[in-house]
């Protein structure tokens, strides 16, 4: 009896251990991961490429959720729309999260937040100010809606700038409204964010149903999303139930190519690279054979052109910059005592100011950068002009004239003519006095290929003797 009880106890212990080894339905080890992608700074081509790559990886690795943690002042319309399309087509649900506290999702960030399946914000964050700004020459519209004339007043004549601003605002308003309708969020506030540039704090956004929840951090966000059903991809797709409590969070870091693209696509760096490229090639052309300046200049110029083709450049600004650089090159090869160079400095400064619309958040060229590059160009022009003035002031020292006044050694002489060694070369000489081999003479003047020479004492005293060089 005792043995039977002992075996029964051992069997119960084995069964209990076996049940503990059986994984449960919600075991954290079996949960699909959650991908975390951070968006910081201006939204541009590099940001769009990184989000696209992250969403594709999330689909391949069957992640259950992608969290876009945002802190952005906005960015380019083309990059933002590409990201919105990727979010809407993603087979993995996407949660937009404005974090950490103190962050914002302004302008383009508001559109991204509305496009996400879940919109969340951390305390002390804000979103809004989604009025589009004009890409091009600053001060020609600025994204403002046309002013409404007072009641009873005659309608103002149509203005091209106002018409273009109205078209941009109407297009952006319809775009944000469509996203609000798709996600079931406040449509009226979306209209206000575009037309009136209003903003909302996190708690106010939650009260107006602009966002779905407020979370302190990513773990808090995942706890609140646990058990929620979302429909990724097209509206007809099957809903997905999230199990995010305790799920593994995988923070996706940008690869080297994305980081390089983000650095090079900065407008200030693109302009600096262009200047390095032009000056490097110019130095190589002026001093053939150095090789290194030409190689560095060529690589820098190609990188600058690659960056500029991804940015919203103003072609008038590009034309002025190229004109200024052409004037710099002309000043180096055709000295004009600074006239061409000063014109180049002025053209470059205006071109840099107009190159990219400074109203686009994160994509303007700071004035200190423009001023610094302009001063460098001005210093280059002044240096070239000073060298040109000094070169013009020097006496001509080319051809046979450089030999006048040189000391020569007589090799052979007879009958008023002979040969002498001048600067290591044999020259025909002529003289009115008898000379002997090995005697030191001075070249008085050159006539054709003959050098007229005389003894050192005689030429030093001003007498003139003849010599002929061949």
- 270 and 196 part of one domain: no
- 195 and 302 part of one domain: no
Confidence check: pLDDT of 148 > 50 = no
Q: Determine, yes or no, domain membership for 6.
A: no
- 377 and 409 part of one domain: no
Q: CB under 8 Å to 86, separation ≥6 — which residues? A: 48, 51, 52, 55
- Torsion 376-382-384-387 (CA) sign: negative
- Report DSSP letters for 150-205, one per residue: PTTSPPPPP-HHHHHHHHHHHHHHHHHHHHHHHHT--HHHHHHHHHT--EEEHHHH
User: Cβ(63)–Cβ(35) under 8 Å?
Assistant: yes
- 200 and 289 part of one domain: no
Count of domains for the chain: 3
Helices 256-264 and 292-308, packing angle to 10 deg: 90
Rounded to an integer, what distance in angstroms lies between the CA atom of residue 219 and that of residue 94?
Answer: 16
Confidence check: pLDDT of 368 > 80 = yes
Q: Determine, yes or no, domain membership for 455.
A: yes
- Torsion 14-15-16-17 (CA) sign: positive
pLDDT the model gives residue 15: 57
Closest to 48 (Cα-Cα) out of 108, 92, 1: 108
Q: Determine, yes or no, domain membership for 4.
A: no
Phi, psi of 264 (to 5 degrees): -70, -30
43: β partners:
75
pLDDT the model gives residue 335: 65
- 138 and 65 part of one domain: yes
User: Cβ(324)–Cβ(346) under 8 Å?
Assistant: yes
Rounded to an integer, what distance in angstroms lies between the CA atom of residue 151 and that of residue 119?
Answer: 41
pLDDT the model gives residue 234: 61
Calculated CA dihedral for residues 365, 371, 376, 380, nearest 10 degrees: 110
Domain end: 393, 424, 448, which one? 393
Q: CB under 8 Å to 334, separation ≥6 — which residues? A: 340
Q: Determine, yes or no, domain membership for 107.
A: yes
What mean pLDDT is predicted for residues 288-317? 84
- 329 and 420 part of one domain: no
- 81 and 177 part of one domain: yes
pLDDT the model gives residue 144: 42
Q: What is the pLDDT of residues 118-141, one digit of tens each?
A: 999 999 999 998 888 654 433 433
User: Measured in Å, how far apart are the chain's first and last C-alpha atoms?
Assistant: 135
User: Cβ(423)–Cβ(403) under 8 Å?
Assistant: yes
- 82 and 221 part of one domain: yes
pLDDT the model gives residue 12: 63
Rounded to an integer, what distance in angstroms lies between the CA atom of residue 182 and that of residue 325?
Answer: 51
pLDDT the model gives residue 465: 41
Closest to 376 (Cα-Cα) out of 279, 455, 267, 311: 279
Q: Determine, yes or no, domain membership for 417.
A: yes
Rounded to an integer, what distance in angstroms lies between the CA atom of residue 109 and that of residue 103?
Answer: 11
- 431 and 386 part of one domain: no
- 83 and 50 part of one domain: yes
Instruction: Classify burial at 368, counting beta carbons within 10 Å of its beta carbon; exposed 0-12, middle 13-18, buried 19 or more.
Output: exposed
- 165 and 309 part of one domain: no
pLDDT the model gives residue 23: 42
Domain end: 393, 420, 443, which one? 393
Mean pLDDT of the chain: 80
- Torsion 200-109-240-20 (CA) sign: negative
pTM given for the model:
0.65
Q: Determine, yes or no, domain membership for 10.
A: no
68: β partners:
37, 96
Instruction: Classify burial at 23, counting beta carbons within 10 Å of its beta carbon; exposed 0-12, middle 13-18, buried 19 or more.
Output: exposed
Q: What is the pLDDT of residues 1-49, one digit of tens each?
A: 555 666 566 666 555 555 444 444 443 557 899 999 999 988 888 889 8
pLDDT the model gives residue 187: 93
Residue ranges making up the domain that contains 422: 399-460
Where do the H-state alpha helices sit in 25-104? 45-60, 77-89
Strand (E) or helix (H) holding 446: strand 440-447
Q: CB under 8 Å to 117, separation ≥6 — which residues? A: 93, 94, 95, 183, 230, 231, 232
Helix (H, G, I), strand (E, B) or coil at 316: helix
- 272 and 354 part of one domain: yes
250: β partners:
35
Q: Determine, yes or no, domain membership for 152.
A: no
Q: What is the pLDDT of residues 68-89, one digit of tens each?
A: 999 999 888 888 999 999 999 9
CATH code of 99's domain: 3.90.226.10
Domain end: 255, 281, 309, which one? 255
Q: Determine, yes or no, domain membership for 12.
A: no
Q: What is the pLDDT of residues 220-260, one digit of tens each?
A: 999 999 999 998 876 567 888 999 988 999 998 877 777 77
């Amino acid at each position: 009896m005792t043995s039977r009880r002992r075996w029964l106890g051992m069997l119960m212990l084995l069964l209990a251990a076996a049940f503990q080894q059986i994984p449960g339905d919600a075991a954290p080890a079996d949960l699909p991961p959650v991908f975390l992608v951070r968006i910081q700074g201006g939204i541009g081509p590099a940001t769009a490429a990184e989000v696209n790559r992250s969403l594709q990886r999330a689909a391949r690795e069957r992640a259950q959720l992608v969290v876009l943690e945002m802190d952005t002042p906005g960015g380019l319309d083309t990059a933002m729309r590409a990201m919105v399309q990727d979010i809407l087509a993603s087979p993995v649900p996407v949660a937009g999260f404005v974090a950490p506290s103190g962050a914002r999702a302004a302008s383009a960030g508001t559109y991204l937040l509305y496009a996400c399946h879940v919109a969340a914000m951390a305390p002390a964050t804000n979103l809004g100010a989604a009025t589009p700004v004009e890409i091009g020459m600053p001060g020609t519209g600025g994204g403002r809606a046309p002013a409404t004339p007072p009641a009873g007043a005659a309608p103002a004549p149509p203005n091209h700038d106002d018409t273009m601003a109205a078209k941009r605002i109407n297009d952006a308003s319809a775009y944000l409204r469509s996203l609000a309708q798709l996600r079931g969020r406040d449509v009226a506030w979306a209209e206000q964010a575009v037309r009136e540039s209003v903003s909302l704090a996190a708690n106010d956004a939650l009260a107006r149903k602009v966002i779905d929840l407020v979370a302190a951090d990513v773990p808090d966000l995942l706890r609140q999303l646990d058990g929620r059903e979302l429909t990724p991809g097209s509206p007809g797709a099957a809903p997905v139930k999230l199990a995010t409590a305790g799920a593994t969070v995988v923070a996706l870091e940008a690869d080297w190519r994305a980081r390089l693209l983000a650095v090079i696509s900065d407008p200030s760096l693109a302009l600096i690279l262009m200047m390095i490229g032009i000056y490097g090639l110019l130095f190589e052309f002026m001093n053939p054979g150095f090789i290194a300046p030409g190689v560095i200049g060529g690589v820098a110029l190609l990188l600058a052109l690659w960056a500029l083709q991804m940015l919203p450049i103003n072609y008038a600004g590009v034309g002025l910059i190229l004109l200024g650089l052409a004037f710099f090159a002309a000043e180096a090869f055709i000295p004009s005592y600074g006239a061409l160079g000063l014109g180049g400095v002025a053209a470059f400064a205006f071109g840099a100011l107009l190159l990219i619309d400074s109203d686009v958040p994160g994509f303007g060229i700071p004035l200190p950068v423009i001023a610094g590059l302009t001063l460098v160009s001005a210093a280059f022009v002044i240096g070239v002009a000073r060298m040109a003035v000094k070169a013009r002031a020097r006496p001509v020292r080319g051809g046979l004239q450089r030999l006048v006044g040189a000391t020569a050694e007589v090799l052979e002489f007879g009958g008023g003519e002979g040969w002498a060694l001048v600067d290591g070369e044999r020259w025909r000489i002529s003289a009115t006095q008898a000379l002997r081999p090995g005697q030191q003479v001075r070249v008085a003047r050159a006539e054709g290929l003959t050098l007229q020479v005389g003894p050192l004492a005689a030429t030093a005293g001003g007498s003139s003797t003849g010599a002929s060089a061949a």
